Structure formats: structure tokens, C-alpha cells
Structure 1
Amino acid sequence: MPQHGADRAALDVADSNARQWTSSVAGPMKPGSDVHRREMCRMFLETFNPYRPAVLEWPHLEPDALQRIVSLPIWDIAVQTEGKARLRMAAYAATLAESDVREALALNAWEENRHKEVLTRMVAAYGIPLESEAPYVHPKDTEWAYLVTGYSECIDSFFAFGLFEVARRSGLFPPELVDTFEPVMQEECRHILLFANWVAWHRAQLSWWQRIRFKLRVAAVWVFLGWERMNLARTLDADGNEHTHKRNFTVNGAQTVSSTPTSVRELMTLCLTESERRFSGYDARLLRPQTMPKLVRFALRFMRADDRK
């Protein structure tokens, strides 16, 4: 698209295409089959949205709205997370023999870089200070790095879907700003849809003993992510100074983006509803991330309707 702007109709078509996709192949898509591999890659490539950060319009913010944006304790860790995801996904993609899977994961890495650019341009537009970024280090174990990134996105996106809807309903942020970030949110849905299907396809390719090793590795990833989210994230800037950030903002940030109290139960229910809505446009034969929805549905059984924390 031209840097000076984009046709509204073209943007609408691209946005619609990014949200809906159905395979032309009849019958089931057995995980691990060639059909499953081809169609999960086709889904990702054919739902690509060609919006460009350079042509995104950042709306004027009133002082109170600007202060809410600036005060959110997420921007440094968000920018750095996207930078790490870009490198880790690209590094793992480069190791793959299957050209279509390699292309899909490489595009995923490129889109992570675009998310980073969107965030960088937004904080620049609104004068939000960021730490200087330390160099991004190429992972030694590319599969582990990809698994950590993929499952981390499954967790963060699940809660982000609900929080984004809380922010939209609250009216505290201009609708134009919410609309600007909407394609990014849907792109995250595509990312974890691809990841869930890659995990199933990859696991099916392994021998029985390799599957045991892979399952243990996945379990280790979940333990690592659980430990990580219970602690402050510590990062070093380009000058070697240490900074700490709360990684669990996605769980307790509802009160920050809304002027009305939101119970834990309400937020978890909204996360489930929004997750299902965002995935609803994609072929039902493709696998969806299941861990977070299952955990939240289980937890909801024990939550009172008036639970507020």
C-alpha cells in the first residue's frame, strides 16, 4: 500500500479476509497429515493483512486519555516482547525443511516485527518514554525459544482479547485508537491459531519416544511460563541498567482500562467469549488453543458471581 495513505475499501476487504478463512479441501484434516500441514499454512498466508504502520492514523487524545495511555506499565515490556518474538520465530523458521511451514513461520516473525513497529510509532506519537533496547540475542535452542514464545502468546492473547473488549466498552479511550489496534489483536488470533496447529502437526511427525520427549519439553515450558508470570520481569537496557516490569498485567489490568469495577469472573467470562468470537471465522477443522480456555472454564466453576479482586 502507498505510504501516503490507503483506500478505505481496500483496507476493509483486507480486514475481512484476515478474519475469515475456509479451506476448499473436503473432509477432515487429520493432525500430522500433509493436508493439515498445507491448509494451516494456506490459512496463515491467505489471511495476511497488508496494513502498514506508516499509514496508521494516531488520533488526538484529550489530556485524561493521554495520561491513561502513558501510565499503563506495559510499553517497554510489550516492545521488547515483540522484538524477541520476531527473532525467535525467524530463527526457528530457518531450521525447517518444509518450505510451506518455513514460509508461514517466517511471515509470523515478520508480523511480530510489524507489531513492534506499531507500538514504537504509537509511543513516539504520544511521547511515551521507553528504555533503550538491549541487543536481541539469537537463541541457542531455537525449538525451545519458539515453544516459549508460542505458548506465551497463547496465554497473553487470551487475556488481551478480554481486556481489549473491556477497554472498548469503557469509552475511556477514543474509538479511533481502539480501531487502530483492532487489526493487531486479530493478527494475534491468527498467530496462536497457526501455533496450535503447528504443535499438533509437529508432534504427529515424531516417533513414539520423540513424542514423549516433546511432551516433557512442553510441560517444562508451561512450568517456566508459570514461574515467569509469578515474578517481575527483569530486563537490561542498552546501557546495562536493570529494569523490572509486571508480566501479569494481562490478568489484573481490567481496572486500569475501565472506570467501572470488573470482577475476576466477569473478565474471565469475557475472555472466553472474545476468544471464541475471534476464532469463529476460521475453518472449524483447524485446531484452536485449548489450555487457557479449559483452565478458565474449570476455574469459573469455583468463582462466585460477585467475586471481585
Structure 2
Amino acid sequence: MSDPLATPEHETTPDAEASAIAAVAQAAVEEADHAMRHWADPSPEPVKLGSPRHLSLFCNMLLQTHNPYKPAVIEWPQLSPEALGRVTSLPIWDIAVQTEGRASIRVETFAATVQEPLLRRALEMDGTEEARHKVVLSKLVQAYGIPLAPEPSYPPPDDPEWGWLVTGYSECIDSFFAFGLFAAAKRSGFFPAELVETFEPVIQEEGRHILFFVNWAAWYRRNLPWWRRPLFALKVARVWAFLIWERIGIARGIDPDGVAQDANFTMNGSAALGEALSPRSMIELCLAENERRMAGYDSRLLRPETVPRLARLARRLLR
């Protein structure tokens, strides 16, 4: 006669059930993370720049690699007093939150002007992710008690295309250096491994955004009437001049809204993040990380080239 108090073999304990649920959740997270970093269109045909296939390629890349993580349920890891002090001392949080706030409204404003359905969907996704980055940063500073200056308002730009161009080219500059600085922080142990893992999707999303942007810019330029192309080139040149001037202001300790900030973080950031690198070594790290983060996407997509090209030129001059 069997013991009525014995646990049947097919029954599981609460701990086993919790472990099984956690394993399924972890597998889903890993699958979404892999899908965000690796994408190729199934059709093998060559893609002509400016063609409808090109449009489909870069829009689908952004839409199909979306990672559905939710900032509100992110579990920020508990930090040791030393690690907490390092994170809270970084002079980046105010300007990072404000940058994402401006970016989201600029992208959303431009998306509202676009009639092509697939492109509009992709731009709306881009804007949603930019807004989510701001939420992630806001949750981070809240979790670790980082004080922020009062946020300014984020009015929509008068010229939606100008706002979109400023956002896209600005991210091309900032992401290139952010890739290297994040790798330096990870390598040095400045950020605990748990915090690196938590924040990593935001960094990769920026890589997707600049990949989308440079392909949009090439597609858009090819589809302009010939007489509008010089005007567009002039507008892009003005955007670059504006961004250079803006970064000179930041390097002097003034952010775009006229608020004082700690200066030269991008240039001296590796030392601030616990690993003092020479300018040449920092450039090499940024180049390597930029290539690594772009490697998983369809090879027919254009890659950001302006900032890496300037970085390679600077590296030669630093020999």
C-alpha cells in the first residue's frame, strides 16, 4: 500500500516551479537580446541605394530587432558603497536625460510629417525607443539617488527635418564614443557586471538607431529631385557645424540649454571610468566596439562612416 503522504513523481515543489518559470523568462530575454543584435533580410538579392528594397531593408531592420523590455520592471542591482559612489559621481546624468528627452520629441515630430507607411512606422518606433531611453535613465537615477537639475521643456522643432537630422548625426557622434567608454567601464570593473548587463540593451539600441539613420539619409538623398540635393547637402553641413559648436560649448562646461556641466567628459572619460587610456588607445577601442556592434546586421546596410573615418585619421596623426 502506497504512502498517502508521499509526493507523486509528477508533482513539483514551489521552488522547482519558480526555477522553471525563471528559466523560461531568462530564455525569452536571451532570445530577444540575440534578435536585437542579429538581423538579415531573407532575400539574397543585391540592394540598390535609394530603391524601395533599400527602404524596406533598413525599416524592417529597426522594426524586427525591437527589444520589448520594459523600464518599469527593470530590477536595478544593489551596489556596494564604493560602486554607488563611482556611479553617482559621473558628470553625465543631467545631460543624458535631457538629450534623450530632446531626441524623442524631435523624432516623433519628424515621423508625423512622413507619409510613407513603413517609414513612418519605423520612425515612430525610433521615437518610442528614444523616449524609453529617457525612462531607463530616469529610473536609474531614481534607484541610486542621483540628484538631477530641473528638466527643461522639450518643445517640438520648428523645422521637423532639421530636428531629425540633428538627432541622427548627433547620435552618430555620441554613440561612437559611448561604445568605447562603455567597454572601458566594463573592462575596468568601474560598473559592476550586473549593472552593465542591465544597461547594455540601451547601448545596443543606439547602434540600431544610427544604422537606421545613415541608411535613411542615403535613401532620402537619392530620392530627392536633383535640384534639391545641393540644398539638402548645405543643410547637412549646417547641422554638422551646429553639432561641432554645441560640443565645443559642452567641452567648455555649458550644455545646449546654457547650464554649466563638467567639461571634457568624452575626451577624458576613460580615466573617469577607471581605465586611463591614451587618446590613440581610446580611438582604437571605439573603432573596435563600433565594428563589433554593427557586425550582426545585414551586410547590405550602410554603416556609419563619417565619425569612424575621422577617428582613423586622428589615429594616424597620433602616431
Alignment match of 2:247 (pick from 193, 205, 229) = 229
Change beyond 3 A, Cα 1:17–1:31 = same
Paired positions, count: 294
Cα RMSD for the two superposed structures: 1.4
Partner of 2:168: 150
Alignment match of 2:228 (pick from 210, 222, 236) = 210
TM-fit CA distance, 1:228: 0.9
One-letter identity of the residue aligned with 2:244: G
- 1:257 and 2:273 equivalent? yes
Alignment match of 2:291 (pick from 262, 273, 276) = 276
Q: Greater shift after overlay, 286-295 or 225-234?
A: 225-234
Change beyond 3 A, Cα 1:83–1:247 = farther
Q: Greater shift after overlay, 24-33 or 221-230?
A: 24-33
Q: Does the aligned pair in 2 maintain the 1:21–1:47 contact within 8 Å?
A: yes
Partner of 2:60: 42
* Identity in percent: 54
TM-fit CA distance, 1:122: 0.4
Structure 1 residues not aligned, in runs of 5+: 237-241, 305-309
Change beyond 3 A, Cα 1:266–1:83 = same
Partners of 2:227 and 2:279 in 1: CA distance: 41
After superposition, the C-alpha distances for 1:164-201 in whole angstroms (9 at most, x for unaligned) are 00000001221000111111111000000000100001
Q: Greater shift after overlay, 64-73 or 121-130?
A: 64-73
Partner of 1:130: 148
Secondary structure of residue in 1 paired with 2:270: coil
Partner of 1:290: 305
Partners of 2:32 and 2:77 in 1: CA distance: 22
Alignment match of 1:71 (pick from 89, 92, 108) = 89
One-letter identity of the residue aligned with 2:273: V
One-letter identity of the residue aligned with 2:288: T
Partners of 1:103 and 1:204 in 2: CA distance: 21
User: Structure 1 segments of 4 or more deviating over 4 A?
Assistant: none
Alignment match of 1:83 (pick from 80, 96, 101) = 101
Partner of 1:12: 30
Partner of 1:61: 79
Alignment match of 1:92 (pick from 110, 116, 121) = 110
One-letter identity of the residue aligned with 1:188: E
TM-score, normalised to structure 1's length?
Answer: 0.92
Partners of 1:251 and 1:34 in 2: CA distance: 40
Partner of 1:102: 120
One-letter identity of the residue aligned with 2:310: L
After superposition, the C-alpha distances for 1:144-183 in whole angstroms (9 at most, x for unaligned) are 0110010000000000000000000001221000111111
Q: Does the aligned pair in 2 maintain the 1:229–1:247 contact within 8 Å?
A: no
